[in-house]
Structure 1
Amino acid sequence: MNTDTPHATTLTGTRLGLADDLLTMLRTTTTEPRADEQLEALTLAVAADLPVLLWGEPGIGKTAALTRLAESLELPLTTVIASVHEPSDFSGLPIVGDDPEVRGVPMAPPRWAVELVRAGRGLLFLDELSTATPAVQAALLRVVLERRVGALRLPPGVRIVAAANPRASAADGWELSPPLANRFVHLHWVHDREVVVRGLGGVWPRAELPRLAPERLPEAVEFARRAVCGFLTLRPKLIHRLPNTETRRGGAWPSPRSWETALTLLAFATAASVSRDVLALLIRGAVGDGPGLELLAHLDRMDLPDPESLLADPAVADLPTRGDLRQAALDAVVAAVASRPQRERWDAAWAVLVRALETGTPDLLVAPASALAELRRDDWEVPESIDRLAGVVGLARRADLSVAGASR
């Protein structure tokens, strides 16, 4: 019996129309300015025209984040599932022309690449990178590094972001090849409870390009070059260090290429005045956790005041506010006196400690005060400034001893 009557068709169409209306309402969301460190790191790397690889478990929201990013930046999104493509889809298919001996054999690019070139701008999203075969990964090297697909060159307005699942949670997953992995900034994507809950309620964080201060651009370039070059001068063994295990080779590790990436990120982060946490995500994502943390510590040391400047005018000494940096600055003052012990320098160091007492917490003064006291020569009189420190330092020391005794 045929039930395809006009009435039945109209009724079904109406019901599906209502279902479509409901789906449209569910999929309609808005965005809001909201602090999101990983989204800020992703956006800055995209602005710096560096390929980014998002690592995260399935369903964590990597694809949704890229969709919102493209919408916020008003870039057309082109998604290519790497695992379902052949190497020729990235290197190009050979097309024999009329006179191959003279003209050669051109490599015809796929349609998605042609459309990107025609648009002149866009966000190329290479999804499921860790399930692509080694042959496909090899073909992707030229796309990521040279921005070439077959005979076409992707325009400067195209940015590249990829996503991958850890091998343990990827279907038929492969480790990334070291040459391909070393071309990306690796960001580990995790969910934020508040972001997810508010997003399911219809409001997601907005991705915005970093605001670069025009007057800071020369300073940012100079600082980034001085920081990275100075660090590698001190740690030359970190210029190139290929990890020992296959898994770690598929992530971020230091090489001249990735240090250039770190330098670029540091310049952009400085010009945009991003937070230290965002900078840490980017630097570690470029050269790996160990080298990245060492570079960040080197940046802290670069920010320390010159101990000789502090000794020259203790009354106006500008000490860091962060506890660990303040401790390092005070230790540097004591070390400077120890390297050239003179009565006036010893007195000035005590004045610096008094300045630290006036502008910060006293618990940081115990170690430098004790070390400075041990530098006293027999013919040096005790300065009056010590009286201001004696009670505070003694009280802090007694408190430390009582805490240590209570923990036994």
Structure 2
Amino acid sequence: MTQYVWGYLPEYEKERTDILDAVDTVFRSGQLVLGRSVKAFEREFADHHGLAHCVGVDNGTNAIVLGLRALGVGPGDEVITVSNTAAPTVVAIDAVGAVPVFVDIDPETYLMNVDQVSAAITARTRCLLPVHLYGQCVDMAPLEALADRHGLVILEDCAQAHGAVHHGRIAGSMGRAAAFSFYPTKVLGAYGDGGATITDDPEVDARLRRLRFYGMEDRYYVVETPGHNSRLDEVQAEILRRKLTRLDGYLARRREIADRYAEAFAGTDVVTPVTAPGNTHVYYVYVVRHPRRDELLAGLKEHGIELNISYPWPVHEQSGFRHLGYRPEDLPVTSRVAKEIFSLPMYPSLSDAEQERVIETVRDVAGRL
């Protein structure tokens, strides 16, 4: 059975020589932990975002955890975010002892409805955590204004938005800090887990560096504040350095694929993504909607095409977060959208022929519903 999920193997075949050279470079360096490759990647990734600092960590979840801790968010603090996100966003908030507070999403972009944030702010609110979902940015100007007015910090969740631009500013450059994931399926993906937190604030950078290394200033000395063992691996850092130079090419191909989908499904019941004003979308995933989503996916499966849903269960409806006390009707747009969205294949190594097969099959199955 054919399963269109992601393009790891075709990408690896195309880039295999460089990837293996990256591995060999690290193994021959004599530095396997926090060595030259991590330092170089941190410098290059920070430069890519026009910021002073980047701290490589072991995964995207801990990029948020350490980001929150470095910003002073802790037990009892409230963090305003969305339920339409990957669960790790909220898991990270819970991990520092803070309380996630959800606002609903825009019905067209599925991004945070920033008009609801002001009403959600309380005396306990410490942080705004916008999720730049699916490859485009939340409207940041209203959030920045609220943060300034109420003395809040902004931590951007950029796990799905490498290279996305919002009114001329790149994702990750608009908050006090920003967290990235380099999970293999990401726009900029490693060959295993990886993450980073970036900032222009030297004090936040210093805290991040301590927190990712047990709370120590240097190797195996004195713990100042208990931290984590959350270091980016040297091999993954070297691979990411090589792939960062190819990021523009990855993005161009994703936009080609997105344009072809948009043209193919125009005038059908398949609702294609809406790009918010001022945004440059990078299409981490190509999320569409259909009123009979489950029937459509079942029909596609009969033709050997299994597609992903991002995300079928909003965080506020999951059993692990039942203690927060939210009901589905508290976030009506989030709950409604979750019943209709699904993702079409989107990765740079997707061939034109593979995409055309998906398009033809989706149009055929949807047309018979």
TM-score bracket, normalised by the shorter chain, equals under 0.3
Relative to the length of structure 2, the TM-score reads: 0.24
Larger radius of gyration: 1
Could you say which structure has the higher helix fraction? 1
